[in-house]
Amino acid sequence: MSLHMRLAAAGSPLSDASSYVLGMPHLCPNGLSENWLWKELGHRHWNLIAQAYGRAAAGFGPKGGQPIYAAFRNISLHGGDLGGVRENDSLDVRSTITSLSETRVVSRHVAACRDRLIADVEMTSVFVRRQAEGVNRSIIRVRIEGPGGAEPSGETMASHPSYSRRATSAQDTFVDEREVGTMAIETCPHLDFNGAGLLYFSSFIAAVDRAEWHLVGKRSGLLATRERRAVFYANIEVGDDLTVRMLTAQDGTACRHRALLSASVDGKLLAEVVTDRMMA
């Protein structure tokens, strides 16, 4: 599919188009910063939800109740050419809600530079709230119903059927998968947690990148992301740490691996991330 067709296919009444002149906050040594991209697209995803429900200022849920958030269930990046941009380039991003219901939202984001595809991203979130104030392990899914209202769906994040299907299984991805090692990641509330007190979804990806740098080798610093897929199962409390177990398959031109992220405190599976990189 041509870039023009991709951009056209992404059009809908609930959409947003923006351009960014790329500077230091947007870049890393090998081109576009994937960490910046995830944070920016996460913000755009939230703004589209607020636009869809028409209550950006008031937020979601009844007054006095536990706040309701849009928690990412899975994200994917395809057609990645993050190494194809440099300082002062103009990055055009078209964001669109492609599916909206009272329980979940799917958005698509197409990033291009000089009519060349840089990233084609899809993000799925579900509505959640805490059952106990300040306790991330008490998060359950909820259903948004009417202006300001929400009803529990009766499901925890991990118990929902879509979470039990491993969208990023080794069998679907690699034939020669082998275990590389395990790395402990110490989280920091100033860097890794968002304003809702949750470990931010981009911090899961950052943890995988740190583990890759340590376990796979420094040659990974020469590579840029071509594909990334992640599915999220649970969150942790501020002060808890992560353990990243990495399995990899490599050839001469690419770095491909699957990472299992778990809570260091109890071993609970938090996320599964598949990465495919190539020379920038």
Please determine, for residue 242, whether its predicted confidence score (pLDDT) is greater than 50: yes
121 and 252 fall within a common domain: no
Please determine, for residue 168, whether its predicted confidence score (pLDDT) is greater than 50: no
Q: What is the pLDDT of residues 33-80, one digit of tens each?
A: 999 999 999 999 999 998 888 765 445 666 677 888 999 999 999 999
96 and 175 fall within a common domain: no
Question: Are 271 and 231 a contacting pair, CB within 8 Å?
Answer: yes
Distance CA 38, CA 29 (A): 17
If one counts the domains in the chain, the total is 2
Which domain covers residue 66, as residue numbers? 1-157
The residue among 137, 157, 177 that closes a domain is 157
The residue among 117, 135, 157 that closes a domain is 157
Phi and psi at 29, nearest 5°, equal: -55, -25
130 and 187 fall within a common domain: no
pLDDT confidence band for 251 (50 / 70 / 90): low
The CATH number for 270's domain is 3.10.129.10
pLDDT at residue 219, as a whole number:
75
pLDDT at residue 254, as a whole number:
58
pLDDT confidence band for 163 (50 / 70 / 90): very low
Residue 120 neighbours by CB distance under 10 Å? 20
Q: What is the pLDDT of residues 182-240, one digit of tens each?
A: 999 999 999 999 999 999 999 999 999 999 999 987 777 788 899 999 999 999 999 99
217 and 200 fall within a common domain: yes
107 and 3 fall within a common domain: yes
Of 135-144, 157-166, 188-197, 270-279, where does mean pLDDT reach its minimum? 157-166
24 and 145 fall within a common domain: yes
User: Model pTM?
Assistant: 0.86
Could you tell me the end-to-end alpha-carbon distance of the chain, in angstroms, rounded to an integer? 23
Q: Give all strands (DSSP E) within the chain, no chain letters.
A: 15-21, 27-28, 31-32, 68-78, 90-100, 104-113, 116-130, 139-144, 150-156, 178-185, 223-232, 242-250, 254-263, 269-279
